[in-house]
Amino acid sequence: MDLSTELKGRDFISLHDFTRAEISLIIDTAMGLKKELKSGILHPYLAGKTLGMIFQKSSTRTRVAFEVGMYQLGGHALFLSPRDIQLGRGESIKDTALVLSRMLEGIMIRTFSHDEVLELAKWADIPIINGLTDLLHPTQVIGDMQTITEYKGGVEGIKLAFVGDGNNVAHSLLFGGAKMGMHVSIACPPGYEPDAGVLRLAEEDARQSGARLSVVHDPLVAVEGADVVYTDVWASMGQEGEAAEKEQHFMQYQVNKRLMSVAHKDAIVLHCLPAKRGKEITDEVLDGPQSAVFDEAENRLHAHKAIMALVM
């Protein structure tokens, strides 16, 4: 596979920063890398390069996908926890960025504050990849759109219903859907709507692509006629203290057999994981024939490899 150099040197922080053609390039590259891997074709596009991985938040899929992905691309991934680097002891983000830029070819950061990622990108001379913040989770949504493409042939004109908290995943789905012409309906309890600024920017993109975006409080309304039904934990990482209170508000927002009955008969189910089984989703649905959740999890590997290969 001939690897495009169109995105080389770019930061990957928000899907809002990319054009429809650029997002399509990332998805197509992910699918091409997956095909090569399954065929036993080696693709050491990042041979001799090192990715620094700053983890302020713990992770399963993100860490494994980036670490294994760098290995498969012929490079090396360096895990950096707050206990391992001076950033965790008060060194400025600016100084961290300036130093790491002289030793690495790319940095992936998974943290709480989105401003930290923007600050890192401001001072770094190498690509910064947003592995998750409290505001956005763009690498996840590349894997999601890859999965939808595999099942549905593409994302344009697809209706995706997200049921749950208006969180970082919901925000990136709005951005991704708006760019790609995918209709996104968010169902959440009053007071848990997506960020107004994110929604405003997504609506501007949607006017260009023809995507329809909506935020409703009735999950049945959101899911009616959906091709994809998506959910996430009700209390995101760092919100564990709010879990009991949130559960009271979200009890009617469970993805179960009854809710799935109003979606299209061939609708697929997605969940970014980890899942709280019996809370936001039932075992019957998560393990059922409509679930694409574990294909989606696998595609994180291929999506992350595509992002790294293209920008590094």
Report pLDDT digits (tens) over 179-215: 999 999 999 999 999 999 999 999 999 999 999 999 9
Q: Does domain 15-136+300-311 have CATH number 3.40.50.1370?
A: yes
Catalytic residue among 16, 61, 110, 271: 110
Q: Active site includes 212?
A: no
Catalytic residue among 56, 140, 254, 290: 140
pLDDT of residue 17: 98
CATH classification code of 138-297: 3.40.50.1370
Q: Active site includes 188?
A: no
Task: Provide the CA 307 distance to its chain's centre, in angstroms.
Answer: 12
Q: Active site includes 287?
A: no
d(CA 174, CA 195): 11
The residues spanned by each domain of the chain are 15-136+300-311, 138-297
Q: What are phi and psi of 230, to 5 degrees?
A: -125, 140
Catalytic residue among 232, 254, 290, 304: 232
Catalytic residue among 171, 227, 254, 272: 272
Q: Which residue has the tokens 């399509």?
A: 24
- Tokens representing 137 are 């989770």
**Averaged pLDDT of the chain:** 96
- Tokens representing 119 are 């600050």
Q: Render pLDDT for 79-116 as a digit per residue (tens, 0 to 9).
A: 998 888 887 678 899 999 999 999 999 999 999 999 99
d(CA 311, CA 138): 14
Catalytic residue among 114, 183, 271, 300: 300
Catalytic residue among 114, 137, 183, 304: 137
pLDDT of residue 131: 98
Q: Is the whole model's pTM more than 0.85, yes or no?
A: yes
d(CA 34, CA 30): 6
pLDDT of residue 55: 95
Domain 15-136+300-311 and domain 138-297 have a common topology? yes
Positions in the chain whose pLDDT score sits under 50:
none
- Tokens representing 245 are 């209170």
Q: Active site includes 110?
A: yes
